[in-house]
């Protein structure tokens, strides 16, 4: 399957495609991020790249027979968290642009890691739900 996808993409795009093993949660996470990008990016060339990658990853999800109400619920949770992270990052960039590093900036910076912790927890739940052979691990000071 991976070779077929790689050959198909090279034939259409003239580029190289790698088949990289990954955790189920990581695949779902990447799909939700690409869906957000597809809604928020206006640049036509960037949108084409996002759409191409999203289609390939959605194919992977389907071919792995990963579906059902439990996945849909977890995917929805992950999408909401990733959407929140996107908004937080946008707000941090506004603070940076305005050289505003006060209380609001500090609250946003803290929100990044607490929201990322929730994101990691949802990905772990997805990995457990689908008995993922690969499980992403996090470690902090």
Taking the whole predicted model, whether its pTM rises above 0.95 is answered as no
Q: Where are the domains of the chain?
A: 2-129
pLDDT of residue 37 exceeding 70: yes
pLDDT of residue 41 exceeding 60: yes
Task: Tell me how many helices (H) and strands (E) the chain has.
Answer: 5, 0
Across the range 7-27, mean pLDDT stands at 78
- Name 47's Cβ contacts closer than 8 Å, sequence gap at least 6: 38, 41
Distance between CA atoms of 131 and 14, rounded to whole angstroms? 35
The pLDDT value given to residue 7: 54
The pLDDT value given to residue 141: 77
Task: Note whether 48 and 36 are within 8 A (CB).
Answer: no
| pLDDT 10s digits, 108-141 | 999 999 999 999 999 999 999 999 999 888 887 7
Across the range 53-82, mean pLDDT stands at 95
């Amino acid at each position: 399957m991976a070779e077929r996808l790689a050959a198909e993409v090279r034939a259409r795009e003239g580029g190289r495609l790698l088949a990289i093993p990954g955790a189920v949660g990581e695949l779902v996470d990447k799909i939700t991020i690409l869906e957000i990008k597809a809604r928020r990016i206006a640049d036509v060339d960037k949108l084409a790249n996002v759409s191409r990658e999203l289609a390939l990853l959605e194919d992977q999800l389907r071919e792995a027979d990963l579906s059902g109400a439990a996945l849909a619920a977890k995917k929805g949770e992950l999408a909401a968290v990733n959407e929140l992270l996107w908004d937080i990052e946008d707000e941090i960039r506004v603070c940076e642009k305005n050289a505003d590093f006060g209380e609001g900036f500090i609250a946003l910076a803290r929100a990044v890691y607490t929201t990322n912790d929730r994101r990691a927890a949802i990905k772990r739940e997805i990995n457990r739900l689908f008995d993922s052979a690969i499980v992403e691990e996090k470690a902090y000071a």
